[in-house]
């Protein structure tokens, strides 16, 4: 899953087409004008086997999932991606859901793993059911470095006081996603709404909402993601590689130290100073100081499973706050305790293993050298 040529950004697009079988010339012109790399389409209105009805765009591959037959007989709906040739994005198999329309891609750009998804939520579909299905997919398709979700979710984010808006924004917050579209995307006569979204935890720029009346009521939205990781301040650790000490040579040099010189001194401070000097010189010879630079603090005990458990805990907490139902609260509390206990177990196991290894190395050195230090 790599790009054929290195690049620092990818241009994504989103359009609710309201049928790919119509307005094809206008769509082809828009694609040519905006030079999108990966274009998400909602409401293709293509049934299974009808992919040939979609406009064929030179230089692009077409990936499509129709609306399930179990949902309104398969009429309407459907989600798809147009992917520029040379971008080797692969379709990822997500957990099946009988009613939620979604399609996911995996892609690696400059060693950054991306999870790219598009999903369509009809106005009549329960929002919590929809978000639960998306959560299950995002959780199952890890690990990844960044996620990009595009789609018409039919929640008007311009109405910040509605419960659905708050529910959707909380969902974004749980995954640390930023909703990049800030102006109306759907225009009908004198009314407008922001229902088409592009949200991501990657760096973005040049978000454009293009209202092309010939394409319908939904805007043609584009956004560039920038894959340049911010520099973090390195952490420098200085240490002595005690495990590299050769016990026989160490013992020989230790016994060669004139310890009697220390006993002949009358001043205690001078004795301590000379003792420290001898010891420092000995270890400088056999285990000279080394320096290692860490660009982020290692936390190997925070595994992918731990991250998933804490993510599920946060979602359960949010649902408990919203519904105030006793069984939702109890589920959150149980998950909270289990997540905390799992973190303690992972961390304890890690440091116990580190301690045992250090102890074994120390015992090995002492057993071989049998050091006896006497003035």
Beta-carbon neighbour count of residue 364 at 10 Å?
A: 12
Please report which confidence band the pLDDT of residue 229 belongs to, taking 50, 70 and 90 as the band edges. very low
pLDDT score recorded for residue 98: 84
Taking only the tens place, the pLDDT of each residue in 300-319 is 777 888 888 888 988 888 88
By the 8 A CB rule, do 174 and 193 touch? no
Taking only the tens place, the pLDDT of each residue in 246-305 is 999 999 999 999 988 888 888 899 899 999 999 999 999 998 999 887 665 556 777 888
Could you tell me which residue, 219 or 95, shows the higher pLDDT? 219
Q: Could you say which architecture CATH assigns to the domain 9-226?
A: 4-Layer Sandwich (3.60)
Which residues have CB under 8 Å from 375's CB, separation 6+? Answer: 259, 260, 262, 263
Q: What is the mean pLDDT of residues 27-36?
A: 90
Taking only the tens place, the pLDDT of each residue in 36-46 is 999 999 999 99
Task: Please provide the average confidence, as pLDDT, over all residues in the chain.
Answer: 87
Check pLDDT > 90 for residue 61: yes
Check pLDDT > 80 for residue 364: no
Could you give the percent of the chain with pLDDT greater than 90?
51
Taking only the tens place, the pLDDT of each residue in 191-226 is 999 999 999 999 999 999 999 888 999 999 999 998
Taking only the tens place, the pLDDT of each residue in 316-345 is 888 888 899 999 999 989 988 888 888 888
pLDDT score recorded for residue 230: 44
| Spans of all domains in the chain | 9-226
């Amino acid at each position: 899953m790599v790009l054929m040529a290195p690049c620092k950004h990818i241009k994504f697009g989103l359009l609710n087409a309201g049928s790919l079988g119509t307005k094809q010339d206008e769509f082809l012109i828009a694609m040519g004008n905006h030079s999108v790399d990966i274009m998400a389409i909602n409401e293709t209105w293509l049934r299974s086997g009808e992919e040939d009805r979609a406009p064929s765009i030179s230089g692009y591959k077409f990936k499509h999932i129709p609306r399930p037959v179990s949902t309104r007989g398969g009429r309407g709906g459907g989600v798809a991606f147009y992917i520029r040739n040379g971008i080797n994005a692969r379709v990822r198999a997500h957990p099946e859901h009988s009613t939620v329309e979604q399609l996911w891609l995996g892609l690696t750009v400059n060693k950054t793993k991306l999870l790219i998804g598009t999903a369509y939520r009809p106005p009549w579909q329960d929002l919590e059911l929809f978000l639960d299905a998306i959560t299950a997919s995002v959780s199952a398709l890890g690990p990844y470095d960044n996620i990009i979700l595009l789609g018409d979710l039919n929640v008007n984010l311009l109405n910040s006081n509605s419960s659905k808006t708050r529910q959707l924004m909380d969902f974004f917050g749980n995954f640390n996603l930023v909703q990049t579209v800030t102006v109306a995307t759907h225009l009908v006569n004198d009314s407008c709404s922001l229902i088409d979204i592009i949200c991501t935890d990657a760096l973005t720029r040049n978000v454009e909402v293009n209202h092309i009346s010939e394409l319908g009521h939904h805007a043609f939205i584009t956004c560039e993601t920038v894959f340049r990781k911010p520099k973090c301040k390195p952490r420098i650790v200085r240490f002595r590689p005690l495990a590299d000490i050769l016990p026989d040579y160490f013992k020989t040099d230790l016994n060669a130290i004139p310890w009697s010189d220390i006993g002949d001194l009358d001043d205690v401070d001078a004795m301590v100073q000379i003792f420290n000097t001898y010891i420092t010189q000995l270890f400088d010879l056999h285990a000279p100081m080394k320096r290692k630079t860490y660009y982020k603090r290692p936390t190997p005990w925070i595994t992918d499973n731990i991250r998933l458990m804490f993510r599920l805990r946060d979602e359960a907490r949010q649902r408990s706050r919203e519904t105030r139902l006793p069984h939702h609260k109890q589920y959150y509390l149980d998950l909270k305790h289990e997540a905390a206990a799992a973190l303690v177990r992972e961390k304890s196991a890690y440091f116990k293993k580190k301690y045992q290894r250090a102890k074994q190395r120390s015992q090995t050195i002492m057993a071989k050298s049998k050091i006896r230090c006497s003035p």
